[in-house]
Amino acid sequence: MNLKQFLTIMILGTILCWAMFVLVIFNINPANGAIALLLFYSSLFLSLIGTLAILGSVIRIFLFKKEIIFREVKSSLRQALLFSFLFVVILMLQSKRILAWWNVLFLVVALAAFEGLMVSLGKK
């Protein structure tokens, strides 16, 4: 699979995820329970991963023209996953009214450590 095919599939998948998120927002009552919240958070998570991965890949392709492109796409996908996870967890904590600055700090440090571990394992 070349880069153009990969980005096309990612764009189509991301559009579908955003459409699913919009459908969840307008058609599901959050008072319906855990299923509604699961659909909301999962559709938002997938939409954010796709959007951030596409933006990160495009930016990295233009910044690192001489580098191996799929390595850049892989790291932008991993970072999109981490940022999306951070955002969704922050929303979940806020919905339970337990969000505090030290929670966010702990999450950021944990995700930064995980990213550092993944980068160091990838260089070996």
Q: What's the pTM?
A: 0.88
Q: Report d(CA 9, CA 1) in Å as an integer.
A: 10
Query: Pick from 63, 21, 19: which is nearest to 42 by CA?
Result: 21
pLDDT at site 6: 85
Q: What is the CA radius of gyration of the chain?
A: 17
- What tens-digit pLDDT sequence spans the chain (124 residues)? 787 888 899 999 999 999 999 999 999 888 888 899 999 999 999 999 999 999 998 888 888 776 667 777 888 899 999 999 999 999 999 999 999 999 999 999 999 999 999 888 877 6
Where do the domains of the chain lie?
A: 3-122
